Amino acid sequence: MKPLFPLLLLCFLITACTSKILKEDNHAAYITADILNSDDPTAYFYVDSRAEEIKMAEGHLNTNIEINQANFIRVRLARQNLFCYITPGDSLNISFDKDDFENSLSFSGKHSKENDLLQKVRETVDEMSGSYRDLFSLTEADFIARLDSIKIALVEMRNEIKNSDMAIDPGFLSLLETDAYYEHTRRIESYENRYKRYTSDKTYVPSDQLADLIGSESFDNPEALGSPEFRGMVLSRMWGLADEYEEDGSEDGLQEATANELSHTFNDPDIQDYAKYASIKSALMFAGPEKTFGMAEAYLNNTTSAIRTKKLRQAMSRWEHLQKGKTAPDFEYPDIDSVMHALSDYKGKYVYLDVWATWCKPCIAQHPALHALEEKYHDNSDIVFMAVSVDEDAEAWKKMVIEKELGGIQLRAGKAPSVLDERYNISGIPRFVLIDKDGNILDSNAPRPSSDEMKNILKELLEPPADLLGYQE
C-alpha cells in the first residue's frame, strides 16, 4: 500500500498551482440590538465604502459583521448615529430607547467599556466641531485653531484612558489614535473645497501654512484599515485619480487609475486590494452593472480576500436583475390627480425615468435640461418622460409640480423605502433609468439629462436613421 501523505501533498500542490487560494480571514462579529419605541425596518452598518443594510423587526436585529481585524464602524439605528468598536469573534449588544437616546444608550459584551468610551470621544469631536457648515465656513486661521483644540482634547482623553484603572484593549487605543489622525488630515485636505462651497468665496487661496499641514500621507500600514477615516481617505484617493484621468479624456477614469496608479499610491498589498474593492463597490452604486461588472470580475479573479470576495459578490447579486436586457421591475404610483400609472402601462415606448425629490438640490438642477429634452421630443410618440418623487410631503411635491409646470408623467412613491427604492436599488438621487420599448432595461444608471452622452443616446434612439441605433438590442 502506498503512503497516503505524499499523495495528499501532491494533490495540494497541484491545486495550489492551478487555482487561486482565498485567505482564511472570514471572521465575524456578532451584533444584536434592542431598540424601544422603534418601528424602523432597516439598520445601516458602514463597514466599508457602502452601507450594509440589515433588516429589523420590532426594534430588534441580530447580524454577523464579517471583518478580519479590529474596526470602528458607524451604525445608524432608529435614525440615530453611533460608532462601534468590534473585533473578530466579538459579541456586542446595543440597546436604547429611541425617545431617550442619550440617556438610555448602553452596550454589553466583551468590549462594552471601549464602546462607551468611543461614544464619549465622538460626542467631544462633534460638540467641538459643530456642524460641517459651521466648521468649514471658519476662516483658515480659525479653522486651524479649531482643529488644534480638538486634537489637544483627544490627546488628553486618550492619556486619561491610558492612566485609568480600566482594562482597555490596547488595539482600541491604537485605533483611536489612528482614526483621530486621519480625521484631522482629511478635514485639512477638504478645507479649500468645502470653504468655497459653504461661503461661496471662489477667490480663496490656501496659505502655505495650510499646505504644509497637509504633507504627504503614507499608505503602508494595513492595520489602519480598521479606521473609517483611513478607509475614507483611501477611497477619496482612488476617486481623485479617476477624476484626473477623466479630465484628460479617459472614458473610464477608475479603470485607468486602478491599472496605472495603484502600486504608486498605496505601498501595502492589502491596502491596494482594499482600494480596488472599495472603489468598485462604490462605483457599482453610482454607475450600475454595465459599467462596473467587468472591473468587479477582474478584481474577483485576483483577490485573495475571502471577506471582500463574498461582500462584492453579494453587492453584484443585488444588481443582476438590473442588467441591460433584463425586464424592468414594474411599479405603480399616483399622479397629482390620484390617477394610478404603472410602468408596464407604457410598454411599446421608451421610458426615461427620473427619481427625484423636492428637497434634493442636484435633482432640481437637472430640471431645465430635462424640460429641454421633453420639449424637443414632445411630439414623439416613441418616448415617455416619467418622474417619480420620493417626497414624504405630498403637498410640497404637488406645489412644485404645479408651480414649476413640470412636464412628462409626474408620480409620487412617497416615504422611503418604497417598492421603487427596493426594486431599483435607489441609494441616492437623482437617479435616471432608461427602458426600451419591450419593457427591458437599457441602462439602470442612465446619464443625466444635462450630459451630452444622454442627448446623443436619445438622438440615436428617436431620430433617423433608425437602423443604426447604438443602443438597440
SS3 for 440? strand
Domain assignment of residue 291, yes or no: no
What's the average model confidence in pLDDT over 368-372? 95
From the list 420, 434, 429, 422, the residue with the least C-alpha distance to 462 is 434
Share of the chain above pLDDT 70, in %: 91
Domain encompassing residue 372: 332-468
Query: What is the rounded distance in angstroms from the CA atom of residue 467 to the CA atom of residue 104?
Result: 66
More confident residue, 459 or 471: 459
* 101-110, 217-226, 339-348: range with lowest mean pLDDT: 217-226
CB-based contact 93:107 (threshold 8 Å): yes
Q: What is the pLDDT of residue 18?
A: 38
Q: What is the pLDDT of residue 212?
A: 85
Q: What is the pLDDT of residue 257?
A: 81
Cis peptide before 465 (omega within 30 of 0): yes
Domain assignment of residue 386, yes or no: yes
* pTM metric for this prediction: 0.83
Query: For 140-184, what is each residue's pLDDT tens digit?
Result: 999 999 999 999 999 999 999 999 988 999 999 999 999 999 999
Q: How confident is the model at residue 418 (pLDDT cuts 50, 70, 90)?
A: confident
Provide long-range contacts, Cβ within 8 A and 24+ apart, for 210-218. 210/140, 210/144, 213/144, 213/188, 214/185, 214/188, 214/189, 217/185, 218/267
Share of the chain above pLDDT 90, in %: 73
Q: What is the pLDDT of residue 4?
A: 41
Query: Taking the mean position of all CA atoms in its chain, how far away is CA 47?
Result: 10
Q: What is the pLDDT of residue 471?
A: 52
Q: What is the pLDDT of residue 416?
A: 64
The amino acid at residue 28 is A
What's the average model confidence in pLDDT over 185-208? 93
Domain assignment of residue 287, yes or no: no
Q: What is the pLDDT of residue 200?
A: 93
Residues 6+ apart with CB under 8 A from 259: none
Mean pLDDT, the chain, integer: 88
Domain assignment of residue 388, yes or no: yes
Domain assignment of residue 438, yes or no: yes
Domain assignment of residue 147, yes or no: no
Domain assignment of residue 29, yes or no: no
pLDDT at residue 189 above 60? yes
SS3 for 374? helix
Residue 32: phi, psi to the nearest 5? -120, 155
The DSSP 8-state label assigned to residue 200 in this structure reads -
How many of the other CB atoms lie within 10 Å of CB of 55? 9
Domain assignment of residue 61, yes or no: no
Cis peptide before 417 (omega within 30 of 0): yes
Number of domains in the chain: 1
SS3 for 89? coil
**Residue 354 belongs to a domain with what CATH number?**
3.40.30.10
